[in-house]
């Protein structure tokens, strides 16, 4: 500690002639350069994963798209041909959509081991979202951030060894009841596939 203080003082004394000691400002410069490097290539920001949603009879009813963003991921959901009203929508932990019940997708994606629901004091699952509102014409859309998640790599990776799926439920998510918000049957499912755009 004493050495650092003495060296800093010496540095300050000869500041006009230049000083080779590593300083906090030097480190900040290095960090800035490191952060800019991936952006230059433009590839990291372009990564995404898409789940094509299908009902039990194989009808295409929209798409859930997840893209990387600063500090996590971003979900963009859009559906057509769905029953009007509120529907629970979640990311489920296994990338498998076996009709007709889609139970193969497993429980909610929950890498941080929380309880279900945005209104739950012990929540929420990383794959929890607000309800999807489907209009009278059967269309609906939603966009939400998923903070702290990654597409690949790290403890909160969406595309882990068994992948992930997106599920639309028949009923409304009460945002409280563990583990699934009492949102009823699974009426549409899509497996997330990595895409580059
Ligand atoms: Cu669900």
C-beta of residue 64 within 8 angstroms of C-beta of residue 51: yes
Which sequence spans correspond to the domains of the chain? 2-35, 43-196
pTM: 0.76
Which CATH number does 43-196 carry? 2.60.40.200
Q: Residue 149 Cα, ligand 1 centroid: separation in angstroms?
A: 18
- Catalytic annotation, residues: 90, 92, 108, 116, 125, 128, 169, 186
- Distance set, CA 175 to CA 13, 42, 61, 97, 120 (Å): 62, 37, 24, 23, 7
**157-181 confidence digits (pLDDT tens):** 999 999 999 999 999 999 999 999 9
**127-163 confidence digits (pLDDT tens):** 999 999 999 999 999 999 999 999 999 999 999 999 9
């Amino acid at each position: 500690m004493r050495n650092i203080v003495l060296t800093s003082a010496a540095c300050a004394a000869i500041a006009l002639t230049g000083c080779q000691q590593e300083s906090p400002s030097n480190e900040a410069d290095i960090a800035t350069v490191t952060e800019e490097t991936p952006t230059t290539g433009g590839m990291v920001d372009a990564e995404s994963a898409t789940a094509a949603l299908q009902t039990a009879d194989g009808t295409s009813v929209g798409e859930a798209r997840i893209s990387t963003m600063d500090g996590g991921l971003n979900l963009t959901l859009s559906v057509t041909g769905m029953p009007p009203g509120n529907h629970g929508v979640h990311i489920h932990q296994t990338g498998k959509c076996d009709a007709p019940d889609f139970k193969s997708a497993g429980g909610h994606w929950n890498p941080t081991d929380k309880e279900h629901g945005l209104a739950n004091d012990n929540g929420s699952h990383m794959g929890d979202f607000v309800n999807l509102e489907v209009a009278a014409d059967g269309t609906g859309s939603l966009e939400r951030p998923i903070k702290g998640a990654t597409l690949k790599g790290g403890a909160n990776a969406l595309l882990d060894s068994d992948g992930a799926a997106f599920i639309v439920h028949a009923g409304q998510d009460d945002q409280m009841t563990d583990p699934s918000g009492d949102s009823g049957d699974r009426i549409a499912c899509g497996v997330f596939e990595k895409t580059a755009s």
